[in-house]
């Protein structure tokens, strides 16, 4: 998924309601940086219902007129690994300028994707009614398969025309900084406050299985 950091800074907003508390394991870094966005707010905006304007309303063949319509994005099925790309490079043909977006991004280490699934959104809106799209999916999403653990963060430092990429890798809850040929240990705070460019999450069961195998070696 691609996310833009065009959110209002300094507060968590969901459907117009301010919420000063961090959610889903996110740390509150607002006091450290006045321009702070959150991964959860990006996901909420991605799956937020949008009311279509007059020209985009659905045309009803039975009524022969346009009806009030909502458009909403959602995730139908989760992959084993979820990758989130943060759009830090902005190019505007109107302003005729390009720049790097340096806003900080809060992101959780443990992520529950259940609220953003199509099945969850339909259930919250229509109850337990069965829809054709749900009948096609013979493999229901369990609570465990919707829970993810972060295992890698790619950070970009520098400017638009000159910069450097560094990767943070997580193994057995220990973080490592991979900077070209140098690999060093870092603490959790260093990762949380990094200028994340890409975030990689793996399903929680697979993450802990990988940790168990690494511990046996």
d(CA 177, CA 155): 10
Among the listed residues 29, 149, 35, the one whose alpha carbon sits nearest the alpha carbon of residue 88: 35
CA separation (Å) from 38 to 8, 125, 128?
Answer: 10, 25, 31
**Which 8-state DSSP code applies to residue 146?**
G
Element of type H or E holding 22: none
Pairing of strands 50-51, 70-71: antiparallel
Among positive and negative, which fits the CA dihedral 202, 206, 212, 213?
A: negative
**pLDDT at position 30:** 43
Q: How much is the pLDDT for 148? A: 95
């961090």: which residue's tokens? 22
Determine how many CB atoms are found less than 10 A away from the CB of residue 94: 5
Q: Which position has the higher pLDDT, 166 or 73?
A: 166
User: For the residues 122-147, what does the mean pLDDT come to?
Assistant: 62
Predicted pLDDT of residue 217: 62
Mean pLDDT over residues 153-178, rounded? 89
**Do residues 62 and 71 touch, judged by C-beta distance below 8 A?**
no
Predicted local distance difference test score (pLDDT) of residue 133: 53
137 — pLDDT class (breaks 50, 70, 90): low
What pLDDT score does 183 carry?
A: 96
| Distance of alpha carbon 72 from alpha carbon 60, whole angstroms | 19
Stretch 163-184: mean pLDDT: 93
Which residues, including other chains, have CB under 8 Å from residue 159's CB and lie 6 or more apart?
100
Specify the pLDDT at position 81: 93
- Round to whole Å and give the CA distance between 40 and 35: 15
Which percentage of the chain shows pLDDT scores above 70? 72
Using pLDDT thresholds of 50, 70 and 90, give the confidence band for residue 143. low
- Over range 140-165, report the average pLDDT: 80
Using the structure block, give the residue that is written with the tokens 């009614």: 129
148 neighbors 110 (Cβ within 8 angstroms): yes
68 has a pLDDT exceeding 70: yes
**31 pLDDT more than 50:** no
What is the pTM for the complete model shown?
0.72
CA atoms of 80 and 131, how far apart (whole Å): 25
Cα(111)–Cα(23) distance, rounded to whole angstroms? 10
Enumerate residues 6+ apart whose C-beta is below 8 A from 209: none
Q: What is the pLDDT of residue 18?
A: 37
Mean pLDDT (the chain) is 76
Reported as a single tens digit per residue, the pLDDT across 90-113 is: 777 777 767 777 778 899 999 999
């Amino acid at each position: 998924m691609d996310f833009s950091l065009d959110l209002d800074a300094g507060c968590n907003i969901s459907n117009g309601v301010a919420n000063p508390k961090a959610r889903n394991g996110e740390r509150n870094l607002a006091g450290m940086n006045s321009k702070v966005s959150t991964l959860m707010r990006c996901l909420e905006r991605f799956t937020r219902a949008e009311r279509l304007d007059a020209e985009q309303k659905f045309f009803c063949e039975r009524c022969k007129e346009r009806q009030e319509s909502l458009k909403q994005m959602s995730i139908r099925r989760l992959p084993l690994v979820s990758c989130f790309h943060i759009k830090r490079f902005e190019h505007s043909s109107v302003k005729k300028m390009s720049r790097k977006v340096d806003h900080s991004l809060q992101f959780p280490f443990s992520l529950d994707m259940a609220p953003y699934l199509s099945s969850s959104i339909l259930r919250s809106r229509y109850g337990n009614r069965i829809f054709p799209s749900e009948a096609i999916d013979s493999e229901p999403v369990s609570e465990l398969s919707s829970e993810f653990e972060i295992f890698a963060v790619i950070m970009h430092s520098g400017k638009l025309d000159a910069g450097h990429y560094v990767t943070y890798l997580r193994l057995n809850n220990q973080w490592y900084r991979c900077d070209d040929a140098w690999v060093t240990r870092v603490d959790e705070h260093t990762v949380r406050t990094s200028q994340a460019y890409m975030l990689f999450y793996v399903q929680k069961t697979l993450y802990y299985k990988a940790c168990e195998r690494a511990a046996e070696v």
